[in-house]
């Protein structure tokens, strides 16, 4: 994979020059990222690219993981759902499991960063090791309506941080410290987003037994109830009454998501009565995801809640028309009727898909607008810039900082 | 031509990069909106009246400030949205007076249309106040004459152009912009400086602004031959 130079044809050389200018101001500081998984899910995906690029810019960046057993990740999955506002039964024993694993991690994880960058709730308790360094908490989930018990429990840790980072304005709360808005991003050079030769796309379709004889509607997502895969099937079935089409539901499961296989089984059951529904489990096959997106006529992201919804940015980058829920960070990526269509229900999703399938010129225009919107705002080069400015902001209080 | 090209001092290009800081403040009604507009930091007013310039570089589908967009799209008060969108931002040399104009516009509307007080945004569609934290950095680009200046304009980021046109004028309360200032004082070309000052940067995208600047300068250089 190409380094920074590879982004010049995509965003221009001056953007890369700016990144180098900012990075010069971070020389001598160590940035330590900590999260709970190195594979699966958006956080690991971003860090896998972000860390080497920051290093190439000369910013000493490292990445460590906490450890946790099945019980711990079951609890943190419940926390995740509760923060998204889904009712969960969380017992005092669950909180104790979280505390106990956290205690072990506090003992075992070596903290050496000048800036310690904690991602999501799983490692949040490491703040107990705070000394005279700076600590950031990066919230990747939609906490616009969090379960108050879980939020309150986590706030005991979070309030000790120097600053927090959220992905959308609606996620911000009145907090006793600074909070920043930084959207995540996609990497246009990654296997998931780079241009693909026609034969690679065709080979993937052939591998999964998908013919190009009818329009393809696709949702790429982890098998997670919050991504509403069943709602996607229901919307597809409504469209199918009028337009002959096929549906691809494809995704993997993250190692910190124990619910994934249950959801996959439910989806397979729901899909079993229609041969045009393809349910594909694709553990870490980014080329296949890329190919399926590129082969699609319309891409969906019908999430009920969404930390950000990077699959929307991936689809728009490929200039695909997208139908997505008006939740989380999705409206930041899609301006309704301008760079995609937003929906709030199964019926709304079905109507939007029919519009796009019946009006290819309109669908094409939405996709083209979407690609430019992503180029300007949601590529990893913008994300690198925001993170470096964030690090610098920890050492400056003013609204205008002269470097 | 030699006179036009000669500069008595170099022009160093700077760039300005923004980080968005959340305030946790939100409004669901017009009354709440105007109340918060009165009290939030100036950097919030700056963010909500200038953000569109950065985020929609190639095309601007939204009205040129967030207040206008919100009252139109979320409250359905299109007439007020139009009034707010058409506030002539270029006439204001500081955030304080821009803020006062926005407040006056909303309060007049509330007075003339009391029923607008009853409108409220649905859940999830509240107005969230955000402030801009600006970082200003010197770039490696330095112009020794007007030709080099025009060549560099083709290469720098739109953030750099933004800094010299908008930040210098509005946020730092300068009456002109850095480009006109340098062309007037170091190059000695008042006409070219005036032509650039007259450009309304708020009604075009930054790429359009870049192209307009380059065109004006290149035409002036050709005219001087």
Nearest to A179 among B22, B56, B160 (CB): B22
Mean pLDDT, residues A4-10: 95
Q: How confident is the model over B56-81, as pLDDT tens digits? A: 554 554 557 899 989 998 999 999 99
Lowest mean pLDDT among A157-161, A264-268, B47-51, B182-186: B47-51
Cross-strand bridge partners of residue A218: A248, A299
Cβ contact, residue pair B24, A338, below 8 Å: no
For residues A202 and A137, state if they share a domain. Answer: no
Residue with the bigger pLDDT between B202 and B110: it is B110
For residue A249, is it within any domain? yes
For residues A113 and A207, state if they share a domain. Answer: no
For residue A260, is it within any domain? yes
Mean pLDDT, residues A357-373: 95
Lowest mean pLDDT among A21-35, A83-97, A355-369: A83-97
**B1 has pLDDT over 70:** no
Mean pLDDT, residues B153-164: 91
**Nearest CA to CA, how far is B224 from chain A (Å)?**
30
Mean pLDDT, residues A110-129: 97
For residue A402, is it within any domain? no
CA A165/CA B186 separation, integer angstroms = 44
pLDDT band at residue A119 using 50, 70 and 90 as cut-offs: very high
**A388 has pLDDT over 70:** yes
CA A391/CA A396 separation, integer angstroms = 10
Kindly give, in sequence order, each residue whose CB lies less than 8 Å from that of residue B73, ignoring residues fewer than 6 positions away.
B81
pLDDT band at residue A145 using 50, 70 and 90 as cut-offs: confident
pLDDT at residue B58, rounded to an integer: 47
The residue of A7, A14, A165 whose CB has the most chain B CBs within 10 angstroms, and thus the best one to mutate to test that interface, is: A14
Nearest CA in chain B to A334: B61
Q: How confident is the model over B175-204, as pLDDT tens digits? A: 688 999 999 999 999 999 999 988 877 777
Cβ contact, residue pair B22, A166, below 8 Å: yes
**Nearest CA to CA, how far is A97 from chain B (Å)?**
32
For residues A168 and A30, state if they share a domain. Answer: yes
For residue A398, is it within any domain? no
**Nearest CA to CA, how far is A84 from chain B (Å)?**
14
Mean pLDDT, residues A32-46: 86
For residues A158 and A23, state if they share a domain. Answer: yes
pLDDT at residue A170, rounded to an integer: 84
Please report residues of B whose CB lies closer than 8 A to that of A377: 55
Long-range contacts of residues B83-87, Cβ cutoff 8 Å, at least 24 apart: B83/B109
**A205 has pLDDT over 50:** yes
Burial class (CB in 10 A: 0-12, 13-18, 19+), B144: middle
Size of interface A-B (CB pairs under 8 A): 99
A165 at interface of B, judged by CB pairs closer than 8 A = no
For residues A229 and A343, state if they share a domain. Answer: yes
For residues A87 and A211, state if they share a domain. Answer: no
Q: Which residue has the tokens 């923004």?
A: B18
Q: Do residues A152 and A337 make contact, with C-beta atoms less than 8 angstroms apart?
A: no
The SS3 assignment for A399 reads coil
Nearest to B135 among A182, A372, A403 (CB): A403
pTM over 0.90: no
pLDDT at residue A239, rounded to an integer: 98
CA terminus-to-terminus distance, chain B: 5
**What are the start-end ranges of the H helices in A254-297?**
260-271, 286-295
For residues A162 and A65, state if they share a domain. Answer: yes
For residues A11 and A76, state if they share a domain. Answer: yes
Please report residues of B whose CB lies closer than 8 A to that of A181: 20-22, 130
Please report residues of B whose CB lies closer than 8 A to that of A170: 124, 126, 128
**CB-CB neighbours of A69 under 10 Å:** 10
Cβ contact, residue pair A169, B43, below 8 Å: no
Tokens of B11: 């022009």
pLDDT at residue B2, rounded to an integer: 42
Domain hosting A355: range is 198-377
Percent pLDDT > 70 in chain A is 98
A392 at interface of B, judged by CB pairs closer than 8 A = yes
For residue A347, is it within any domain? yes
For residues A23 and A91, state if they share a domain. Answer: yes
Sign of the torsion angle spanned by Cα atoms A391, A393, A395, A401: positive
For residue A399, is it within any domain? no
For residues A165 and A221, state if they share a domain. Answer: no
For residues A210 and A175, state if they share a domain. Answer: no
pLDDT at residue B62, rounded to an integer: 52
Domain containing residue A268: CATH number = 3.40.50.2000
Nearest CA in chain B to A17: B139
Provide ipTM, 2 decimals: 0.87
CA B31/CA B37 separation, integer angstroms = 10
A20 at interface of B, judged by CB pairs closer than 8 A = no
For residue A366, is it within any domain? yes
CA distances in angstroms from A137 to A101, A122, A163, A178, A281, listed in the order given: 19, 11, 6, 11, 32
Nearest CA in chain A to B46: A399
For residues A372 and A384, state if they share a domain. Answer: no
Element (H, E) at A48: helix A41-56
pLDDT band at residue B206 using 50, 70 and 90 as cut-offs: confident
Mean pLDDT, residues A271-291: 92
Mean of the per-residue pLDDT values of chain A: 93
For residue A282, is it within any domain? yes
Kindly give, in sequence order, each residue whose CB lies less than 8 Å from that of residue A97, ignoring residues fewer than 6 positions away.
A71, A72, A75
DSSP assignments along A331-394, one per residue = HHH--TTTSSEEESSHHHHHHHHHHHHH-HHHHHHHHHHHHHHHHHHSBHHHHHHHHHHHHHHT
pLDDT band at residue A252 using 50, 70 and 90 as cut-offs: confident
Domain count, chain A: 2
């Amino acid at each position: 994979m190409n380094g920074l130079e590879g982004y010049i044809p995509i965003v221009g050389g001056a953007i890369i020059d700016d990144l180098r200018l900012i990075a010069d101001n971070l020389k001598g500081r160590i940035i330590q990222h900590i999260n709970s998984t190195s594979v699966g899910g958006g956080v690991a995906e971003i860090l896998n690219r972000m860390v080497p690029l920051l290093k190439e810019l000369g910013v000493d960046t490292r990445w460590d993981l906490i450890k946790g057993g099945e019980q711990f990740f079951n609890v943190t999955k419940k926390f995740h759902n509760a923060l998204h506002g889904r009712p969960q039964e969380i017992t005092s024993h669950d909180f104790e499991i979280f505390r106990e694993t956290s205690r072990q991690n506090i003992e075992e994880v070596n903290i050496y960063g000048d800036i310690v960058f904690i991602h999501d709730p799983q490692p949040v308790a490491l703040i107990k090791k705070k000394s005279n360094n700076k600590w950031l908490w990066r919230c990747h989930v939609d906490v616009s309506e969090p379960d108050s018990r879980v939020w309150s429990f986590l706030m005991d840790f979070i309030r000790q941080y120097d600053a927090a980072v959220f992905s959308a304005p609606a996620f911000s709360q009145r907090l006793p410290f600074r909070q920043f808005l930084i959207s995540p991003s996609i990497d246009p050079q990654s296997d998931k987003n780079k241009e693909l030769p026609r034969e690679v796309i065709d080979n993937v379709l052939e591998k999964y037994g998908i013919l190009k004889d009818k329009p393809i509607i696709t949702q790429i997502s982890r098998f997670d109830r919050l991504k509403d895969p069943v709602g996607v099937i229901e919307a597809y079935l409504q469209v199918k009454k009028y337009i002959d089409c096929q549906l691809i539901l494809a995704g993997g499961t993250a190692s910190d998501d124990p619910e994934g296989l249950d959801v996959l089984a439910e989806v397979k059951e729901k899909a079993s009565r229609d041969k045009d529904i393809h349910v594909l489990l694709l553990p870490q096959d980014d080329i296949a995801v890329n190919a399926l997106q590129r082969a699609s006529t319309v891409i969906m992201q019908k999430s009920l809640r969404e930390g950000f919804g990077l699959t929307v940015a991936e689809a728009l980058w490929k200039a695909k028309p997208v139908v997505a829920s008006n939740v989380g960070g999705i409206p930041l990526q899609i301006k309704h009727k301008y760079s995609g269509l937003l929906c709030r229900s199964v019926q709304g999703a079905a109507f939007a898909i029919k519009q796009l399938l019946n009006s290819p010129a309109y669908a094409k225009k939405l996709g083209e607008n979407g690609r430019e919107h992503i180029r300007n705002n949601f590529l990893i080069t913008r994300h690198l810039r925001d993170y470096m400015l964030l690090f610098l902001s920890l050492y400056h209080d003013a609204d205008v900082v002269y470097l | 031509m030699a006179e036009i090209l000669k500069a008595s001092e170099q022009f160093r290009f700077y760039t300005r990069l923004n980080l968005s800081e959340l305030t946790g403040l939100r409004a669901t009604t017009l009354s709440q909106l105007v109340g918060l507009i009165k009290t939030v930091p100036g950097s919030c007013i700056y963010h909500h009246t200038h953000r569109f310039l950065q985020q929609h570089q190639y095309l601007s589908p939204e009205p040129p400030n967030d207040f206008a967009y919100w009252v139109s799209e979320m409250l359905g008060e299109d007439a007020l949205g139009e009034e707010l969108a058409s506030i002539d931002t270029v006439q204001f040399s500081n955030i304080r007076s821009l803020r006062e104009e926005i407040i006056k516009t909303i309060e007049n509307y509330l007075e003339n249309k009391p029923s607008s007080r009853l409108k409220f945004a649905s859940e999830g569609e509240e107005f969230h106040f955000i402030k801009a934290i600006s970082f200003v950095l010197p770039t490696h680009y330095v112009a020794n004459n007007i030709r080099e200046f025009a060549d560099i304009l083709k290469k720098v980021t739109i953030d750099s152009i933004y800094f010299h046109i908008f930040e210098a004028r509005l946020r730092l309360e300068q009456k002109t912009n850095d480009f006109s200032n340098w062309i007037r004082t170091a190059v000695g070309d008042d006409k070219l400086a005036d032509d650039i000052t007259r450009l309304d940067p708020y009604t075009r995208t930054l790429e359009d602004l870049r192209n307009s600047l380059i065109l004006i300068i290149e035409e002036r250089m050709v005219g001087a031959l």
